[in-house]
Amino acid sequence: GQPLHNNASTGVILSNQTLVLQSVSRNISGLYTCVASNSEGDTESNAFNLDVKYEPVCSAGQQRVYGAARHEEVRVICDVDANPPAGLFRWSFNNSAVQSLEVDSVTSEPGGGRSIASYKPASERDYGTLLCWGRNELGSQAVPCVFHVVPA
């Protein structure tokens, strides 16, 4: 692992045998140990797993634009990062003509974190933006994942 150094501006405070982490975020999850050194040698404590819980957020690197012909089914994949994993999802379709439209079917994968909406545009007004929100034990996603369905 990487040694931690006292740095109050980043929220890392080391004092004697105590480690304080302030304003923790999900990217500092992991195993932590304490190493003591003296003239006799080094010793290391048992590892402590810091498991930071957080509400769903959109996973990076997803396909955001899907092309489909009229009456052609498109499978829009919504991946979210969350701890614990998102188990519930909500979808919405928005454009200027229709405020909310049900997708044909939605499936979620075992273990959470992914939902797939099967959507079939029937007319020009059915092209637009699909929004996806994940939900876990901590709450609902604040900012939806945004996907655009365009004519192929």
Placement of tokens 């007319």 in the chain: 123
Residue 2 lies in a domain: no
Q: What is the pLDDT of residues 69-91, one digit of tens each?
A: 999 999 999 999 999 999 888 88
CATH number at residue 69: 2.60.40.10
Residue 99: its pLDDT value, please? 44
With a cut of 80, say whether residue 93 has pLDDT above it: yes
Buried b (16+ CB within 10 A) or exposed e, 69-94: eeeeebebbbbbbbbebbbebebebe
Which of residues 37, 52, 67 is at a domain's end?
Answer: 52
Question: How many domains does the chain divide into?
Answer: 2
Domain range for 20 is: 8-52
Residue 80: its pLDDT value, please? 95
Name the maximum alpha-carbon separation found in the chain: 78
Q: What is the pLDDT of residues 109-119, one digit of tens each?
A: 667 799 998 88
123 plus 79 within the same structural domain = yes
Task: Share the mean pLDDT of the chain.
Answer: 87
Instruction: Identify whether the C-beta of residue 149 lies closer than 8 Å to the C-beta of residue 128.
Output: yes
Residue 72 lies in a domain: yes
Q: What is the pLDDT of residues 3-61, one digit of tens each?
A: 888 888 888 898 878 888 888 888 888 999 988 889 999 999 999 999 999 999 999 99
60 plus 88 within the same structural domain = yes
